[in-house]
Amino acid sequence: MTDALSQIEAFFPYRFAVAAERFSRNLMDVYGKSYGLSREEWRLLFLLSQADEIASNELVQRTTLDKVQLSRAAQKLVDKGLITREISPLDRRVKVYKSTQKGRDLFQEIKPQVDARALEILGAMDETSRQSLQDGMNSLLKALNAPERLTEDPGAA
């Protein structure tokens, strides 16, 4: 009567969504609860901490952030003194972002903790499964990026 429940539990898209949400929340615990960063802020800080500078238009093209999300996440990081935002000399409509020393320091502090949390979970898997997951994921990402699948959201590599 009741193991209709195991029916949905076996449904791949459901399992996938559940796994992704739990995994993501585990990491958000680290940079979110402890350091007050949103997922978008964390991603942006991540990017800028290892680049000299990145222009706004490039960020929009190559990340999952749209221009509104980018603008707002960047504003918060600027307010916190973690990044700077300047007008591009090449095109005065464009902004160029750089991390500050404070931003890089914070990133260096958080990143190992995020890695540790991820490894704590992935480390509970055996090596073969971990490799399978990586390979499968890479293949899935390719499939998702295949041109036919771009319902909307083009160029979001």
Partner DNA sequence: TATTGTTATACTCTATAACTATA
Partner DNA sequence: TATAGTTATAGAGTATAACAATA
CA angle, 42 then 144 then 70, to 5°: 30
Query: Of the candidates 137, 44, 150, which has an alpha carbon nearest to the alpha carbon of residue 97?
Result: 44
Of 31, 48, 56, 103, the one binding DNA (CB under 7 A) is: 56
Which of the listed partners (DNA, its own copies, none) does 86 bind, with a CB threshold of 5 to 8 Å by partner kind?
A: none
Give the list of residues 6+ apart from residue 99 with CB closer than 8 angstroms, or none. 45, 48, 49, 51, 82, 83, 84, 107
Residues of span 10-39 touching DNA by CB under 7 A: 38-39
Of 66, 105, 109, 135, the one binding its own copies (CB under 8 A) is: 135
The β-bridge partners of 55 are 96
**At which residue do the structure tokens 């999952």 appear?**
64
**Is 90 an interacting residue with respect to its own copies (CB under 8 A)?**
no
Residues of span 90-119 touching DNA by CB under 7 A: 91-95
Residues of span 36-55 touching DNA by CB under 7 A: 38-40, 55
Q: Do residues 88 and 95 make contact, with C-beta atoms less than 8 angstroms apart?
A: yes
Long-range contacts (CB closer than 8 Å, 24 or more residues apart) made by 17-23:
23/118, 23/121
By CB under 7 A, name the binding residues for DNA: 38-40, 55-57, 60, 66-72, 74-75, 85, 91-95
By CB under 8 A, name the binding residues for its own copies: 1-2, 4-5, 7-9, 11-24, 26-27, 29, 39, 43, 46-54, 58, 62-64, 114, 118, 120-122, 124-126, 129-144, 146, 148-149, 151, 153, 157
